[in-house]
Structure 1
Amino acid sequence: MSLIYYLSAAESGFEAAQFNVAYLCELNSIFYISLDPALVTQCMLRYYNMSIQAQDPAPYALIRMGDLFYGEHALGTKEVFDAAEMYKQAALKNEPQGWYNLGLLVQNGESLPFGVLSELNLLHLHLTDRQKLLHTLYQRCGETNSTDAYLPCTLALFSAHLQSLQLHQDTAIKLIATVSAAVGTLSFSFVFGLIKWRTMPLHETSQTSASNQTRGGIIKKSTT
């Protein structure tokens, strides 16, 4: 029954009612109460979108709109730029989930819009070091002074560091393998050349010695 009252107020333009309608629809999708999942998604999309048009939208509404934009089930395609814009607005409100979700986008291989990075003062990292960008996003997530967010943000940052170490380790292993192969080839060529150099003069020396003995014999015979 409360959903009906909130719907009436939401359609009249009350931002709080719009948020409440969207949130009640979301609860129905979580607890599997009466509403069809497709209807739940459309309800969330409509009323969270209406609520973020307010002058000071709730960070949670921004996060949920970002999730809806990024989830293919809502619009049929991923709207990465729109999702990043929603998360950015939440992050600028010091919402840790905004920073965290931006980190997830980067970790999933998505490219954040230049405008979003510029407003977050992170454009230079995107152009130079993607891993450093990921670390910075998770670090800022943990710096929001939210007790609830500290642990997940710290774990995400730790995971990003491990991923970076693994990436550098894989690169180092490939480099070492390449150098080892090159050194092995050069060593084989060097040893083979050395053996050839050491054996060829002996063969030539024996031929030269035999030739000299023959010449000596001929000279003695002619003298006699």
Structure 2
Amino acid sequence: MFFVIKNSLIIAFFGIIITTFLSLSIIFISGYFPKKIRNIIDIVVTLPLFIPPSVSGYFILSVFGVQGVIGKPFYDYFGIRFTFTVYGAVIAGVIVSLPIVYQSIKLAISSIDREYFEEAELLGANNYHFFVDIVFPMSKRGIFAGIVLGAGRILGEFGATLMVAGNIPNKTQTLPIAIYSAVENGEDKEAMFLVLIVLWISIVIMFVYNFLKKRGDERDV
């Protein structure tokens, strides 16, 4: 039981780091493309939010499976497989949380007045100073709120994780999958304990999110 909690937190931790990095990278790179291309990127990145997790899991298997476009060379040349491992669970978490984190960060950044960027550009600021001196200080609460929501989404993921990582005790099992297994096996006490753990984590996540949102609203007043 302790392994399930630890495994879920590890998956959420590494998953949200990758998701945040991907979100910031996509937002930064897409700024160099025309509006039509940016719209297409938005659709592709946000699509997992509107399709069933099992469908996302199927596409992840198609790409990262041992016969997939990315998974096959990794397995053939390095002996690394993503399916039915904790790596697969992290990938599933990244895919399902990316739309939430991406949209939250994008909204926070887009709310910054363009005049700040224009003045910084006139002063010769590079991309590093753009982010450190303007983007992050003025949108950090929105970025952190997106990170909190994304971490919560990863912790609660079930369908895609089950398809990609499977339900392997002491290896890939996460809290939602462990609850499913406990109920299926008639282990009501264990299921109730895990449910209470999930509820506690969810309350903490919502408290942090509401705190960040409230601080952001107070700043805008």
Provide the TM-score with structure 2 as the length reference: 0.31
Structure ranking higher on relative contact order (CA contacts 8 Å, 6+ apart) = 2
| Higher Rg | 1
Provide the TM-score with structure 1 as the length reference: 0.30
